């Protein structure tokens, strides 16, 4: 992550949102009420609202990371800064280290999330490739294993590799791995070399399209062509599954991965880029830059 984040204090006007407050929000339909209630129960004490205007923020969990909350819904026009400020305070009271918000829209100037007090932490850029383009991975005498969510030993090995390979914000928890592996169309291939898991690739099959979700290489084995090898594995599997186009993404700050993907023939799709904004809480001990 980049930037210097400064914890904030509470603001008047915005207060915690409780289940008892849901009927007052006048949400459209019973389903909306149920979804809001589920969010409040799954991540209690973090969502906030302004009773006088009914503006609110619904706060959930970021990718099954218990120490990171994320803004899942924004309904605010006048009081977004006050809502964000109060949400940061409430997340800190619950022991969270970071509050995040994702923004899909591009802005020439400052986004409304920045104006509300959040700081841009990451810009995620996207790529796509013709699935029938041949990518030749380096010849390797390694074992490729399809990962099952029920293989606890292999899952733990992947978790260790994943946490060593990715920056703090992008590390996967065990719960996230298990949920990911149980999702429709998802496959994860691990690469074992001399008895050790050295890389993995995760991808999702859609109807006629595919996405390479995760590429990780053991830090001490980077620079040996394993990244290209696992990308070629994922692309080949998606092609066999019927995908004609394959997408992936990486951080703007990750120059190494960008060079790899562009060298392999992936082309930028800037219309699909997105940004992550966030703020640390008063209890946070994370490194922000």
Greatest pairwise CA separation for the chain in angstroms = 66
The reported pLDDT for the residue numbered 3 is 47
Using CA atoms, how far apart are residues 208 and 245, in angstroms rounded to an integer?
Answer: 7
Tokens 């023939």: give the residue: 265
CB under 8 Å to 260, separation ≥6 — which residues? 227, 228, 231
Tokens 């849901």: give the residue: 22
- Could you read off the pLDDT tens digit of each residue along the chain, which spans 289 residues? 544 454 444 445 999 999 999 999 988 777 789 999 999 999 999 999 999 999 999 999 999 999 999 999 999 989 999 999 999 999 999 999 999 999 987 666 689 999 999 999 999 999 999 998 776 655 668 899 999 999 999 999 999 999 999 999 999 999 999 999 999 999 999 999 999 999 999 999 999 999 999 999 999 999 999 999 999 999 999 999 999 999 999 999 999 999 999 999 999 999 999 999 999 998 776 665 4
Using CA atoms, how far apart are residues 218 and 190, in angstroms rounded to an integer?
Answer: 11
* DSSP line for 196-253: EEEEEEEEEE-SSEEEEEEEEE-GGGTTSSHHHHHHHHHHHHHHHTT-SEEEEEEETT
The reported pLDDT for the residue numbered 239 is 94
| Ordered structural domains, the chain, with CATH | 15-122+275-280 (3.40.630.30), 132-243 (3.40.630.30)
Tell how far CA 57 is from the center of its chain. Answer: 19
Quick check: 230 and 215 in contact, CB under 8 A? yes
Quick check: 56 and 83 in contact, CB under 8 A? yes
The reported pLDDT for the residue numbered 9 is 43
The reported pLDDT for the residue numbered 8 is 44
């Amino acid at each position: 992550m980049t930037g210097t984040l400064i914890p904030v204090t509470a603001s008047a006007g915005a207060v915690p949102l409780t289940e008892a407050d849901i009927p007052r929000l006048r949400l459209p339909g019973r389903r909306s009420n149920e979804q809001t209630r589920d969010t409040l129960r799954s991540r209690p004490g973090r969502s906030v609202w302004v009773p006088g205007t009914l503006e609110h923020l619904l706060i959930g969990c970021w990718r099954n990371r218990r120490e990171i909350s994320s803004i899942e819904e924004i309904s605010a026009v006048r009081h977004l800064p006050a809502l964000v400020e109060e949400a940061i305070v409430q997340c800190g009271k619950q022991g969270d280290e970071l509050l995040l918000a994702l923004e899909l829209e591009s802005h020439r100037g400052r986004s409304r999330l920045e104006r509300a007090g959040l700081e841009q932490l990451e810009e995620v850029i996207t790529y796509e490739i013709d699935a029938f383009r041949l990518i030749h991975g380096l010849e390797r005498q390694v074992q490729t294993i399809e990962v099952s969510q029920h293989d606890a030993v292999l899952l733990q090995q992947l978790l260790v590799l994943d946490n060593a390979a990715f920056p703090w914000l992008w590390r996967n928890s065990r719960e996230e791995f298990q949920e990911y592996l149980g999702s429709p169309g998802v496959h994860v291939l691990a690469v074992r070399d001399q008895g050790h898991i050295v890389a993995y690739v995760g991808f999702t099959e859609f109807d006629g399209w595919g996405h390479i979700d995760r590429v990780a290489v053991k830090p001490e084995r980077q620079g040996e062509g394993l990244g290209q090898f696992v990308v070629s594995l994922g692309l080949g599997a998606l092609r066999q599954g019927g995908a004609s186009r394959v997408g992936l993404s990486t951080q703007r700050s990750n120059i190494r991965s960008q060079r790899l993907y562009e060298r392999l023939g992936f082309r930028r799709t800037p219309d699909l880029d997105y940004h992550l904004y966030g703020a640390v809480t008063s209890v946070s001990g994370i490194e922000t830059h």
